[in-house]
Structure 1
């Protein structure tokens, strides 16, 4: 599937009569195509880098070939990679903010069906992520819960990857003085807050 397919799906998703259920289904399909395209580019870049590594053992005779292969790996479909990255970030920001309140309108069960959350995992997903899109996608990582995407960095369902791309973009572009301090007391990497003392 190509950029034209993604654009056609995005146009369908923005039509006035599109329901929120359909809009989320279309968004999921567009993001899945973008993720597959990025994975394909990454695999082909990886193959070029592996060839360069094999040729390194014959240095200095293969120095030019190694440099050429590494340059090809860096530049291979760079525009398409950036384009799919923009698609992921745009959908990620929309999913995190949920300005149309898709989660509220659909309700947890219908949302869980659309995100392919296994019925056996739904209660755990509700506890970890609540009943919001960003909670279920980013916090609980519950999308396609029956599929073992792994717990590694960047591994997860397509909508999780879109949310992650948006968060990474926010961290990279947000002014440093506006980001919270992760090492502050009570923050994830900071010391625990002092206990709350009460007279009983």
Structure 2
């Protein structure tokens, strides 16, 4: 259903009378379906991995079956997963840059309504994420704020997952010499630098 729905939603989004409100609603709907499809594929892979765990109890007699099943779990629906990841990255870039000007056109209150930010969480959302699409969906993680996604890294609403996919893709594809080293002296995980002393 996801493969048929995404082109249909894209066609609706490209119609000339589509408003910014419609654009955001369509994006959220498409992202929900993409994220659901990804979860299903990951669940199927985990099921295969559980079978591997059961077969490991009978090693060395099941060594070949374990190796085959591990390979099957690793390769399971990989082309679909890659396509879904690319769709997430494209949507995530649109959300991060807000090239359509959705946040400015809608204002905070309409944006909060469309992102399903609970009225009780709106002041916190404004403090944490400002009034930008990226800030509310990714930085503040307030999309569907009544839903508890937990504090697990990479877990959040569909728009958060799209923005997160962009960040992961950036880290994966950025040349290594351009990324900061968090373990360098004076950085977050690196050794502390000695204080700079001056004569006053």
TM-score by length of 2: 0.90
Partner residue of 1:198?
none
Give distance in 2, aligned partners of 1:20 and 1:4.
23
CA distance change for structure 1 residues 187 and 158 in 2, over 3 Å: closer, same or farther? farther
Describe the SS at the equivalent of 2:154.
coil
**Aligned-residue CA RMSD (Å):** 2.2
* Deviation of the 1:191 alpha carbon: 8.6
CA deviations 1:66-124 (Å, max 9, x no partner) are: 11111111111111111111110100011000011100110000000000000000000
* Aligned ranges 1:8-157 → 2 under 5 Å: 8-157=8-157
Structure 1 gaps, min length 5: 194-200
Partner residue of 1:196?
none
Describe the SS at the equivalent of 1:59.
coil
Describe the SS at the equivalent of 1:8.
helix
Describe the SS at the equivalent of 2:39.
helix
The worse-fitting range, judged by mean Cα deviation, of 20-29 and 171-180 is 171-180
Describe the SS at the equivalent of 1:107.
helix
CA distance change for structure 1 residues 192 and 137 in 2, over 3 Å: closer, same or farther? farther
Give distance in 2, aligned partners of 1:98 and 1:2.
24
* Deviation of the 1:137 alpha carbon: 1.1
* Deviation of the 1:183 alpha carbon: 5.9
Partner residue of 1:197?
none
* Deviation of the 1:175 alpha carbon: 2.3
CA distance change for structure 1 residues 34 and 55 in 2, over 3 Å: closer, same or farther? same
Partner residue of 2:3?
3
* Deviation of the 1:190 alpha carbon: 6.9
CA distance change for structure 1 residues 162 and 186 in 2, over 3 Å: closer, same or farther? farther
Give distance in 1, aligned partners of 2:64 and 2:41.
23
TM-score by length of 1: 0.90
* Deviation of the 1:178 alpha carbon: 3.2
Give distance in 2, aligned partners of 1:119 and 1:192.
43
Give distance in 1, aligned partners of 2:88 and 2:187.
28
CA distance change for structure 1 residues 166 and 123 in 2, over 3 Å: closer, same or farther? same
